[in-house]
Structure 1
């Protein structure tokens, strides 16, 4: 398994990362253990979770993904062999995530509470990569750019205060490295500037959505990722399953995330089906499984540190593994970019 350097640190992570947000709801603990075993056997020792997970978020399963991962790590005795990444919630009305109720905020007090709880859930005394799940300030998230950009002047907790709190936890040894998620070029640069000016930890990664239907990361963040060594941890590389073609023509397959949770709206835009059909045809032209082809497109981007995937079962996991066997060619690159030029980012 290819390993890539995480930011400017001495930590190297595999090109693929196992996402665990469905553990505890759609994926049972026994199934999750089989997946983690199989990934570790393949050299995929990078696991990503969050205090908010399981998804869809609700009080009954909040933190269950972390707990499942933690029990697996403890039972297998592999803490020194895995890289654990989790996240603190940004500003939200999810009062159930904090004992005092009210909004989740990126204050020093809330960050410390979240870190301590995640350490307990994960059954560890340190977290390798701790990420801010989404910003404190209000920005277009999870498909929000489809309705155009709206500027909000109220910023909330200052970035310097949030980063300072995280820095204290790094000094204490509870966190090794800091990352961002669902961020903008402005936000990343503000964190980098704060780190330099205040001698605080430098962010090492950014976890944003990136796939054949949503390449907006390339517009401003890709240059930043390469120049500043803040690589992308790409999520939704198969666009929540849309790039397999299973949702074409408003299909709703039994057992799918759309059927179970009705949370596919980001990938239900007017041009989605046309784009998906195009990418399916390209994958067929190169005798590749559509999901594996979509995965390898993401994995081969120079600004991607690791490609975060999820799998419902072991069959899907084998397709993910097979993506690494695809040799990405200039012909594939041209075919993908030609289609992208005709239908740009239908699902931002």
Structure 2
């Protein structure tokens, strides 16, 4: 994380801007809702992880976020983002870490291996500082943090699993077990329609998920009702409304959202057809990776085009000899502006070669 200048044609340092007011509001509301849901989960619903683990997850997430921000601020010669805004500024800075820590602990089950959970939280928060791509001239994370942390745990520790879906409603009876997903859907719809603007993504994901279940049934003979039944569970509802809609790692334009949500559904269908368990998390990670690689491809193509334009501008017209000779004072005087112009032009793609379908930070089950 070295200090770089846009004028030199390189990416600037990775300092993140202040969150958009709508995103801050979304972060705050989701941080509150996931906190309330965890409290109810351990006291009423039947969460099976030890009650101390959410506190450990939060402490780990806060510490990792602050330490990495201090390191980045020092490397980029800037003030850490959690300073200067008082307690409110610190609180807003820690919203993403708060959501990530609680979500990862809530959605994974690693028996009594608390250090595996801690490892997953560190990976989830740390990925925002490692897996980045140039978007509108700034390096920004493209991998959904909590989803990536869960996927890494599942890959590195085969004995680990996703938290059993029944624990979201284990201790409640009908009609309460129907009321819980209804509340989540209502709250999630309000959040995503009013603040994150990810309803196109949700629609594409839900429709795509239903289609892949039907296609797998028709082609492979699997149970279509069984594939569709997954959509009625609390875990699916949570994933749909609060994880896949993360505005920091999903596009903002409608058709780009459709491509992202439909892409995750299609990859999930392929992984499930290949008998790969927990495909929902791996599919999301793979689509986020493709999006990050796309950003890098656009950025590098822009730099290459800018360099070609700069070379054409600096080259003399055909058949005309260079006006200056080696060692003349005119050579030094004209070469410097040409080099400066080339550097300025080569730097522009860092700002222009970005996906127009992106927005900042880390919300939604991060």
Q: TM-score, normalised by structure 1?
A: 0.28
Query: Which of the two has higher C-alpha Rg?
Result: 2
TM-score if structure 2 supplies the norm length? 0.27
* Structure with more relative contact order (C-alpha pairs < 8 Å, separation 6 or more): 2
Q: Which has the higher strand share?
A: 1
